[in-house]
Each structure stands twice: as C-alpha cells, then as structure tokens.
Amino acid sequence: MSRTFTLAQIAKWIDGVVRGDAATRIDGVAGIREAGPGQITWLSDDRYAADLRVSRAGAVVVPSGYGETPMPAVLVADPERAMVEVLGRFAPPVPRPEPGVHPTAILGEEVVLGREVRIGPHVVVGRGAAIGDRTVLHAGVFVGDQTVLGQDCEIWPQVVIRERCRLGDRVVVHPNTTIGSDGFGYVFAGGRHVKIPQIGTVEIESDVEIGANCSVDRGKFGATRIGAGTKIDNQVQVAHNVRIGPGCIVVAQCGIAGSARLGTGVVLGGKVGVRDHVVLHDGAQAAACACISKDVPAGSTVIGIPAVEHRQFLRDRTSLRRVPGLLEQLEALARRVDQLEAAADD
C-alpha cells in the first residue's frame, strides 16, 4: 500500500502525456471528492468538472485535449481504460495459498494437477478431476469428480463445483458460489412431485467471472452454458440448461429460468428475472428489476413487470399520469353539455 510512483512513471504505464510537475509523487488512487494530495484521480467526462475544481487530488488523469486543471494532469485517450492499469499497479498483492497442495487438502484418485497450481487448506478435489496450470483453489473449495478447470483460474474460498463440470481458462469464481447443483425439475405424478434426474453438466467458457453466492445449476441433460468473457455479479441464479452467450453482463440478483437463452453482449440490470425458455437476442438490454416473460429482439431495451419495450413503458406511465387530467376535462365537458341541454330545454 505504501509504494510511491512519480507522475512521469504513471504516464509511462498508460501511454499518457504529463502536464505540470512530472515529479509529483503519488501513493494511491481515489475518487475526485475523496482524493488527497498523495493520490491520483481521474475524469471521464465533464459531468464532474465542478468536483475537479475543488478536488484536493495530487494529480488527475483526463482525456487528451482537456483544458486546465488545478493539479498536475496526465492526458490519455481513454481515462477509464487507463485507470484499469493504474489501479492494477497500486493494487496490493492478492493473498493466495502457497504453490503446491496444502497438507490438509484432500485429493481423490487420478486427479491431474497442472504446473504451479495453488491448492489451499481444506480443499477437496474429487477423483479424476483436472486442475489447469497456475489455477488457484482457495481454502475450502470443493471440486467434484471429473470436473475440469482450465489454466489461470481463481476459485475463491468455499466455492462448490460439483462433478463433471468444465471451466475454461482464466475463469474467476467468487466465494460461496455453487456450480453444478441439480436443476429444479419435477413431474407431478401419483399425487407428489417426482424428481426428474438432472444428469447434465455445466460448461463455462474462458474469461468468465462469476460473483459471490451465485448458483449455476447443471443441465437436466446436455449442459448449462456460459459464454466466453461473460461477467456475472453476486447472487445470480442460472437455472438448468440456460445458455448465456459471450460478452454478456449480468448484474446482481438476476434470475434466469430454465432453458432461457441470452445472445451475445446481452446486458441485464440488477434483479432482472427471465422466464424459462425465453430468448434475449444479441445486444438486448433489460433495466433493473425487469421481469421478462417473452422474447426480446436484438438490440432492444425492456423494462418493467412484466417487461415491455422502453418506449411502451414510458407511454404507459404517461397514460397513468394523464388520468386525473382526463377526469377533470371530462367533468368540465359534462358541465358544458349540462348547459347545452339546459339551453335546449328552454
């Protein structure tokens, strides 16, 4: 946490140009309002220009061509992207188990371990499972029989990945998440709910990140699939045989019901529900709390319960707010008709 860099060094990391004192020493990153003299902050757009004027930050990263700033600046093409690099450089090292297998870990027969794996205390790896090179299993992780993890995965404490699942490379799974639990399927027969065996699996492609306390059920048969580069937040439920395409964003507490499909680059806001068998085509978006019960065309945005296209949602709200006015107009009109009738009666 106490490493210090000059602005010149920082500019070099992010291919930026220093304006002001390049020898300014920086020891951390903070938001515009919170940053103090030793910290660097950044500005993506003019929305926060007023905050910048009163900021106590020691330096700021701004878009190329940005005007005067009250403190030294680094100009770059894309400040948001640049900050990924800067944050990474200031990041304290992530604690991981020692290389190798902790003596309290329990490995089944015929487990295949890649090079430089790190397997922490109380981890359990089932028979015939494979752990790729440099993959990290933090304390208490459970990996079931014949499950295969790729290279450079990071599986945080207490994650459970049941048998016969497959994870690609660089997959990150946060604590207390469950992968490969039985799907929720029953047939009502003989007066009771009879369980449908859930004999499928889960396939997670490379560069997927799954948050904490999530659940990804195995397929009834075939696989539940999550496409490459998709990012899933905390407490998300992915039911059996769901197929999520590549590059999707699924915000916290979403629930995606059985056999639903998300195309490429779909974005679900927080707490969105997707009904079973529904399809969200490429680039579809859903606002937070939407409850989606029918297919969403490519590129369109839905909102509400039940979810409708954003335009329809606005029309509905306008309609609702017009009712009191309508009532008044109707009453005024009725009075005019009263008068006309009275006049006609005369």
Distance between CA atoms of 321 and 157, rounded to whole angstroms?
Answer: 50
Contact range with a second copy by CB under 8 A, out of 45-53, 67-75, 268-276, 294-302: 268-276
118 close to 98: Cβ distance less than 8 angstroms: yes
Q: How big is the chain, counted in residues?
A: 346
Residue 138 near a second copy by CB under 8 A: yes
Residue 231 near a second copy by CB under 8 A: yes
Active-site residue, 281 included: no
Residue 17 near a second copy by CB under 8 A: no
- Applying CB under 8 A, among 157, 245, 263, 283 the residue interacting with a second copy is 157
* Smallest separation, CB 68 to a second copy (Å): 26
Catalytic hit among 122, 240, 281, 310: 240
The Cβ of residue 330 has, within 10 Å, a number of other Cβ atoms equal to 10
- Applying CB under 8 A, among 16, 58, 211, 245 the residue interacting with a second copy is 211
Residue 202 near a second copy by CB under 8 A: no
When the beta carbons of 20 and 28 are compared against a second copy, the nearer one is: 28
Distance between CA atoms of 20 and 41, rounded to whole angstroms?
Answer: 15
When the beta carbons of 47 and 54 are compared against a second copy, the nearer one is: 47
Residues whose CB is less than 8 angstroms from the CB of residue 339 and which lie 6 or more positions away in sequence, other chains included: none
| Closest among 8, 70, 7 to 40, alpha carbons compared | 7
Burial (0-12, 13-18, 19+ Cβ within 10 Å), 122: middle
* The two three-digit tokens of residue 124, written as one number: 């359990």
What track of x and - describes contact with a second copy for positions 314 through 343 (by CB under 8 A)? Answer: -xx--xxxxxx-xx-xx--xx-xx--xx-x
- What is the three-class DSSP state of 124? strand
Contact range with a second copy by CB under 8 A, out of 6-14, 15-23, 56-64, 74-82: 74-82
- Applying CB under 8 A, among 24, 69, 135, 235 the residue interacting with a second copy is 235
Residue 47 near a second copy by CB under 8 A: no
Residue 99 near a second copy by CB under 8 A: no
Q: Kindly list the strands in the beta sheet with 28-29, ordered across the sheet, starting from the edge strand earlier in the chain.
A: 17-19, 73-76, 59-63, 39-42, 28-29
Contact range with a second copy by CB under 8 A, out of 17-25, 45-53, 62-70, 265-273: 265-273
* Smallest separation, CB 293 to a second copy (Å): 7
Residue with tokens 């900050």: 83
Residue 127 near a second copy by CB under 8 A: yes
* The two three-digit tokens of residue 258, written as one number: 């059985």
- Applying CB under 8 A, among 229, 245, 263, 283 the residue interacting with a second copy is 229
Amino acid sitting at position 226: I
Residue with tokens 């010149």: 8
- Applying CB under 8 A, among 207, 226, 264, 285 the residue interacting with a second copy is 207
